[in-house]
Amino acid sequence: MMPKFKTMLLAGTIALLPLAAPAHAAPEEAPAAEVVVDASQDSADVDSEAYAAESKAKMEREMDAAIAIVEKMFDTSDLPPVEPARLTLAQTTMGALIPSGSLERMMDNLYGKMFKTIMGEMGGESDLMISIKTGVESEKIAALDEATKGKIADVFDPNRQEREDQINKVIKPLISEVLADMEPPMRAGMAKAYARKFSAAQLTELNAFLATPTGTAYGSDWMALQADPEVMLAVIKAMPPLISKFIDRAPQIEKDMKELPKEKQLADLSDAELSKLAKLMKVDVKTLKEQRDMWKTDTMEATDAVAADDYAVDAAADAAADDYAVDAASDAATAAAAAADAAVEDPAYDRSNWSAADLKRVEDLETAYENASIAVQQAADEAVENARKKKK
């Protein structure tokens, strides 16, 4: 199985590669969501609506913050004005290169196939989902034919095909609407970029070509071809060597980073450096000196506490036992808690549906985790007490 960070890197590369949308003008700060409550509404509905409004407002604030960061990355404030005549020519170019529906055709190539594949893997007839719902090992399920897997899925969800059709029915029009909204600002941004990059004569020649039958065909499909299956497959196959290079060179990068001098803290600065810093910050040097002395005091106390009693540290380490076991127990406990929350929605999370072996393994790990947690806490308390005695 591919490690999580590799999967994320690959997914991010696939998602971002075909489309590089320009940064737009800074949006106004999203207003706080106002929740209007109808007294006749059920309290559960009111809570749900209030939570949804709060979540939406939070998302808008986060999006504004993210866009502000992007605007700093792609700052255009220092660019000279665009010549109106060249901008008009470039707008004609973009009308031919990004005709209505271009983004949707490109996304159909990319996300249409990707979405369908993901739906198939996470659907009721995949080996993974049947294994989760029945507790039977995936290897045994993989040996079954597709027709049998479909019948097994129908036992759990007789309406699964209708459910999938409904998802496609809702999501497909929404994606089309969103992509249609994105096209005008994208055309506007690219028109400015083309107007800066190409001369009026070059834009005139380009528009003449795009007006021909061949140029029209090219302009209609060039963007969709960025996500053509053959292009995407070639890019995906090129990713593993790229990732491997980063992994292979990680030790050298880490070594080079360690050889760099450590960053100074306030406690490390001399009086001369503090005076220089005070002038730069336009503050009283006395304030910085007080902060520096406070940092030094806190650092010394922390060092004394860490080195307090070797026996206590060893006891804590022994109580923690095997890191792998504790981590495994912690993961099991977390999974069990999540399973309890999801039990209402998915019977596969109901422990009564688990095999005896799986149930025993989870319960044993939960017990080990609980015992280890208690032992770690006791050892930590002893370490603190011993440290205090030595400090006195």
Q: Is the pLDDT of residue 276 over 60?
A: yes
Q: What is the pLDDT of residues 209-244, one digit of tens each?
A: 999 999 999 999 998 888 888 888 888 888 888 888
Residue with tokens 């790990």: 365
pTM to 2 decimal places: 0.48
Q: What DSSP state is assigned to residue 3?
A: -
Contact 202, 90 (CB under 8 A): no
pLDDT at 215: 95
Q: Is the pLDDT of residue 377 over 50?
A: yes
pLDDT at 199: 95
- For residues 192 and 195, give the distance between their C-alpha atoms in angstroms, rounded to a whole number: 5
- For residues 189 and 306, give the distance between their C-alpha atoms in angstroms, rounded to a whole number: 57
pLDDT at 16: 43
For range 167-184, the mean pLDDT = 84
Q: Which two tokens stand for residue 257?
A: 């980073």
For range 274-285, the mean pLDDT = 85
Residue count of the chain, please give it.
392
Cα Rg for the chain, rounded, in angstroms? 30
Contact 103, 223 (CB under 8 A): yes
Q: Is the pLDDT of residue 46 over 90?
A: no
Report which of residues 32 and 76 the model is more confident about: 76
Cβ neighbours, 10 Å, residue 103 = 23
Contact 386, 310 (CB under 8 A): no
Contact 222, 97 (CB under 8 A): yes
CA–chain centroid gap for 186, Å, is 24
Where helices occur in the chain by DSSP H, the ranges are 4-16, 43-73, 84-97, 102-107, 113-122, 127-134, 138-142, 146-156, 160-197, 200-210, 213-225, 229-259, 271-281, 285-306, 310-320, 323-342, 356-391
Report which of residues 162 and 332 the model is more confident about: 162
Which residues neighbour 329 within 8 Å (Cβ) at sequence distance 6 or greater? 365, 366, 368, 369, 372
pLDDT at 114: 63
Report which of residues 11 and 169 the model is more confident about: 169
Q: Is the pLDDT of residue 189 over 90?
A: yes
How high is the mean pLDDT of the chain?
A: 75
pLDDT band with cut points at 50, 70 and 90 for residue 203: very high
Q: In whole angstroms, how far apart are CA 263 and each of 124, 260, 289, 297?
A: 53, 9, 19, 19
Q: What is the pLDDT of residues 11-27, one digit of tens each?
A: 444 444 444 333 333 33
